[in-house]
Amino acid sequence: MTTLFNRSAQPAATPAAARLRALGWLGVSQMNHPTATAGGPSFSAVLAAQRSAAPHPPAAAPMDIDGLIRQAARRYGVDERLVRAVVRAESNFNPRAVSRAGAKGLMQLMDATARRYGVQDPFDPAQNLEAGVRYLHGLLHQFHGDVRLALAAYNAGPAAVQHYDGVPPYHETRAYVSKVMAELRAHP
**Residues 5, 9, 10, CA angle at the centre, nearest 5°?**
135
Residue 95 identity (one-letter amino acid): P
Q: What are phi and psi of 14, to 5 degrees?
A: -100, 160
- CA pair distance 161, 149, nearest whole angstrom: 7
pLDDT at 163 > cutoff 90: yes
- CA pair distance 136, 124, nearest whole angstrom: 18
The pLDDT, as a whole number, for residue 37 is 41
User: Which of 80, 90, 130, 183 is flagged as catalytic?
Assistant: 90
The pLDDT, as a whole number, for residue 63 is 55
- Beta carbons of 114 and 104 less than 8 angstroms apart: yes
The pLDDT, as a whole number, for residue 101 is 94
- Per-residue pLDDT of 80-93, as tens digits, reads 999 999 999 999 99
Give 153 or 13, the one with higher predicted confidence. Answer: 153
- CA pair distance 172, 77, nearest whole angstrom: 27
The pLDDT, as a whole number, for residue 78 is 98
The pLDDT, as a whole number, for residue 187 is 86
- CA pair distance 68, 27, nearest whole angstrom: 26
The pLDDT, as a whole number, for residue 3 is 56
- Per-residue pLDDT of 27-83, as tens digits, reads 333 333 333 344 445 545 544 544 444 344 444 555 599 999 999 999 999 999 999
- Beta carbons of 28 and 21 less than 8 angstroms apart: yes
3-state secondary structure 109-155: ECHHHHHHCCCCCCCCHHHHHHHHHHHHHHHHHHCCCCHHHHHHHHH
**Which residue ranges make up each domain of the chain?**
12-56, 60-186
- Per-residue pLDDT of 95-144, as tens digits, reads 999 999 999 999 999 999 999 999 999 999 999 999 999 999 999 999 99
What is the rounded average pLDDT of the residues 143-151? 98
The pLDDT, as a whole number, for residue 92 is 96
Active site residue 90: yes
What is the rounded average pLDDT of the residues 13-29? 40
Fold of 60-186: Lysozyme (1.10.530)
The pLDDT, as a whole number, for residue 49 is 47
